Amino acid sequence: MTPPRPFAFITSGTPLAATIHREPADLVEPQPAVIVTGSWLTVKEQMPDLYAAALARLGYTAFTFDFTGFGATGGAPRQVEAATRKIADITAAASAVRSLSFVRPGGLGHLAVCASAQYVLRAIAEGRRSPRSPAWPAGSTTPPRWHRSTAEPRAWRPGWIGPNRRC
């Protein structure tokens, strides 16, 4: 397997640290591309890079990145779950990836795991230049009823069964 390559792009004046996963290693033949984003407060080296490596083995060029204020990416405040900022980062990532000669035109998708799915869907709903559709429409590998937060109203959690019980 080819090691991932570092990549960077800019959003709101902040350089974002990113990684390209691709098989074969050459950057000549255009391939369909997938941007892979993870759950709350994660960095690209956690789950996104694992999924990206698997997608690369299947013939996709996969991109991961650290959101503004997380991991190797700059920006302040650090480690803050800021929806508007993450939506802007996703939009900037889509624009950066579309501009690369080794990405097949019209061939950009998004694998959004957990919380990042809501940001991708919001970017699409707002008509931003984001990927056409998320590769995992449900967006979460964890059923909503398993989340333990009581801070959000029940209407936001259709399968919610309470903070101290799991199905």
Q: Per-10-residue mean pLDDT for the chain, 167 residues long?
A: 90 94 90 93 91 94 96 94 93 93 92 90 74 41 39 42 41
Residue 155 inside a domain? The answer is no
Q: How many angstroms separate the CA atoms of 64 and 108, rounded?
A: 13
Alpha-carbon distance values, 139 to 37, 49, 69, 106 (Å): 10, 17, 22, 22
pLDDT of residue 25: 80
pLDDT of residue 162: 42
Q: Which domain holds residue 109?
A: 5-136
Q: What is the CATH number of the domain that holds 46?
A: 3.40.50.1820
Q: Which of 30, 25, 6, 11 is nearest to 95 (CA)?
A: 11
Residue 149 inside a domain? The answer is no
- Listed in sequence order, the DSSP H helices in the chain are 47-57, 83-98, 115-125
Q: Into how many domains does the chain fold?
A: 1
pLDDT of residue 165: 43
pTM score = 0.76
Task: Read off the DSSP letter of residue 145.
Answer: G
